[in-house]
């Protein structure tokens, strides 16, 4: 995604666009097939950009390249869409759920409050962020509320239906009504895909100087300001733990900085 006025979103020069990405994790499990964390934009979004709202396209200016979709990456790795048995979404925003239709046989795991918000679209911002035709293929939903389980001291959901204990849904509320982080076990470590709980790696540092455009974007689309800031505080604590790698959806540097991911063959 290439928003204008690069320094507002972390770029170096005003004449250059910013650079944001939509990170998707694919996890190869021993027992549960392939699991996707989020889907990014999908092949239908690339074929017809009008599926994405005009304000969204004007604001973030996505490069809708079908060769960069999750399904295209998986095919290059030798997998078919049917190999994806589960999709665990951080939330159902337009740039996170666009690829659901590319994996019609997968169970889609999501926080119950997020699913309800996306289906009802009561708020004006809900009607902008949630696009019903992205799930018009009627996926098999599995919805959850955190109840009794914990992960690293935080309320969590695990195991998920049809999955073993390698994946946990960790509510990190605030950006959207049911926004969650997705924790994935990789050996003796954990990868936490924090979705849009943060937009920039500097949010993990107390007093970190986050570009003003990203701060404005986070505030513009937040569902609950207090909850969002509490989620950021929780992520800062988790990021200090050596056994946890914290990623987010849109920072192009944060995932690339994780040497552990580059060495781990089961996480792409």
Domain map of the chain by residue range?
6-262
Per-residue pLDDT of the chain (268 residues; tens, 9 = 90+): 998 877 887 776 777 888 889 999 999 988 888 999 999 999 999 999 999 999 999 989 999 999 999 999 999 999 999 999 999 999 999 999 999 999 999 999 999 999 999 999 999 889 999 999 999 999 999 999 988 899 999 999 999 999 988 899 999 999 999 999 999 998 889 999 999 999 999 999 888 888 888 898 899 889 999 999 999 999 999 999 999 999 999 998 887 776 555 444 344 3
Predicted confidence at residue 267, as pLDDT, reads 40
Residue 59, classed as helix, strand or coil, is helix
pLDDT of residue 255: 77
Distance CA 69, CA 98 (A): 10
6-262 belongs to which homologous superfamily? Ribonuclease Z/Hydroxyacylglutathione hydrolase-like (3.60.15.10)
**Per-residue model confidence (pLDDT) at position 136:** 96
Element (H, E) at 115: helix 112-120
DSSP 127-156: HHH--GGGGTT--EEEEE---S-EETTEE-
Q: From start to end of the chain, where are the E strands?
A: 25-28, 34-37, 84-88, 107-111, 140-144, 150-151, 154-155, 167-171, 180-186, 189-193, 244-247
At residue 251, the 3 state secondary structure works out as: coil
Q: What integer pLDDT is reported at residue 140 of this predicted model?
A: 97
Q: What per-residue confidence (pLDDT) applies to 79?
A: 95
With residue 253 as reference, give the H or E element that holds it.
none
> What pLDDT shows up at residue 261?
58
**Residue 11, pLDDT score:** 72
d(CA 244, CA 151): 12
pLDDT for the residue numbered 213: 87
């Amino acid at each position: 995604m290439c928003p204008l006025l690069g320094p507002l979103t972390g770029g170096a020069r005003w004449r250059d666009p910013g650079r944001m990405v939509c990170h998707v994790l694919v996890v190869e499990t021993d027992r549960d097939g392939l699991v996707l964390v989020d889907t990014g934009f999908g092949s239908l979004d690339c074929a017809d950009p009008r599926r994405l709202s005009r304000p969204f396209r004007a604001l973030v200016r996505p490069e809708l390249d079908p060769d960069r979709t999750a399904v295209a990456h998986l095919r290059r790795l030798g997998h078919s869409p049917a190999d994806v048995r589960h999709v665990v979404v951080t939330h159902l925003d337009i740039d996170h759920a666009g690829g659901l239709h590319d994996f019609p046989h997968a169970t889609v795991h999501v926080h119950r409050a997020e699913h309800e918000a996306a289906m009802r679209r009561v708020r004006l911002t809900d009607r902008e962020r949630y696009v019903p035709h992205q799930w018009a293929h009627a996926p098999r939903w599995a919805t959850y509320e955190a109840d009794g389980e914990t992960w690293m001291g935080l309320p969590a959901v695990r195991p998920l239906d049809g999955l073993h204990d390698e994946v946990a849904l960790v509510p990190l509320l605030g950006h959207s009504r049911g926004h969650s982080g997705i924790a994935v076990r990789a050996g003796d470590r954990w990868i936490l895909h924090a979705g849009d709980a943060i937009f920039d790696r500097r949010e993990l540092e107390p007093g970190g100087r986050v570009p003003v455009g990203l701060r404005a974007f986070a505030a513009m689309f937040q569902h609950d300001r207090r909850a969002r800031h509490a989620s950021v505080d929780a992520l800062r604590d988790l990021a200090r733990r050596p056994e946890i790698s914290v990623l987010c959806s849109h920072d192009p540097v944060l995932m690339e900085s994780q040497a552990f991911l580059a060495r781990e063959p089961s996480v792409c």
